[in-house]
Amino acid sequence: MSFLDQFFVYHPEPWQDRDWARLSGLPLEDVWFQSSDGGQLFGWYVEATADRPVMLWCHGNAGNIINRLDNLRLLYQMGLSVFLFDYRGYGKSQNIHPTEKGLYADATGAYDYLARIRKIRPERVVLFGRSLGASVAGDLAAQRPASALILESSFPSIEAVAKVHYGGLPVHWFLKAEYRLIDRLPYLSLPKLIIHGDKDDIIPVELGRHVFEAAKPPKEWHVIQGANHNDTYAVGGKAYFRRISEFVKKSLSA
């Protein structure tokens, strides 16, 4: 673990203990499960119907799962079951410092929970990663089978992001985290949908384009006009959810 990683890469927020199921109006099921390296993690499972696709959601580097409730509601309303979980150091999950290796282990643990406890078959699983979570979902796709992979506001590597924000200075030399999604993409054969906002001022759309270009077919590229980094689903609106729905339906029937 690098001290600078905790400053530059990870921005978790503490848990707020409220009745989130009542406040959100969602059938949130509290889930405690183990990371693949043994840590205790927390997430929410919302089930649409027993035969629907299940989205395994790897969120970004800030906040915790509470901050995703509005988006979670909209995904549930389009007929998806969703398993949204917090990495180590986030929310109610084990209070240890997050690391790249640790986040990969956490996502693998989440997948294994769906497979072993929920008995969800790989052909029903859609991996979804946003921002930093896109790199986590990409690693998971290299470790476990799934029907499809959705990458949103993604970046090729920490090095690429650092060069954008620090005028080409090699800040990444001082960070332990690498998150080299771009190294995995040429080897992932499952269908991929890569989404990016054209006004993203944290991860410029050009970096998302690099992700798309590196990906092995089959792949789709969807740009949301006017969307920044964290408002893709809000700005994209019905067209955004329609694109995801069509992609999932096509991928599961392939």
Q: What is the pLDDT of residue 1?
A: 47
Q: What is the pLDDT of residue 99?
A: 94
Number of domains in the chain: 1
User: How far is it, in rounded angstroms, from Cα 205 to Cα 197?
Assistant: 6
Q: What is the pLDDT of residue 253?
A: 85
Q: What is the pLDDT of residue 239?
A: 96
The strand order across the sheet containing 40-46 reads: 29-34, 40-46, 81-85, 54-58, 125-130, 148-152, 192-197, 219-224
Inside any domain, residue 229: yes
Q: What is the pLDDT of residue 164?
A: 83
Low-confidence ranges of the chain (pLDDT < 50): 1
Q: What is the pLDDT of residue 214?
A: 98
Q: What is the pLDDT of residue 170?
A: 57
Q: What is the pLDDT of residue 174?
A: 60
CATH number at 57 reads: 3.40.50.1820
Strands (E), the chain: 11-12, 29-34, 40-46, 54-58, 62-63, 81-85, 125-130, 148-152, 192-197, 219-224
User: How far is it, in rounded angstroms, from Cα 65 to Cα 87?
Assistant: 9
Name the β-bridge partners of 220: 193
Q: What is the pLDDT of residue 126?
A: 98
Q: What is the pLDDT of residue 5?
A: 73
Inside any domain, residue 102: no
Q: What is the pLDDT of residue 7?
A: 61
Q: What is the pLDDT of residue 177?
A: 80
Name the β-bridge partners of 218: none
Interacting residues of 2 by C-beta distance below 8 A, sequence separation 6+? 174, 175, 176, 177
Inside any domain, residue 69: yes
Q: What is the pLDDT of residue 104?
A: 98
Inside any domain, residue 16: yes
Q: Residue 93 belongs to what domain range?
A: 3-97+125-253
Inside any domain, residue 117: no
Inside any domain, residue 103: no
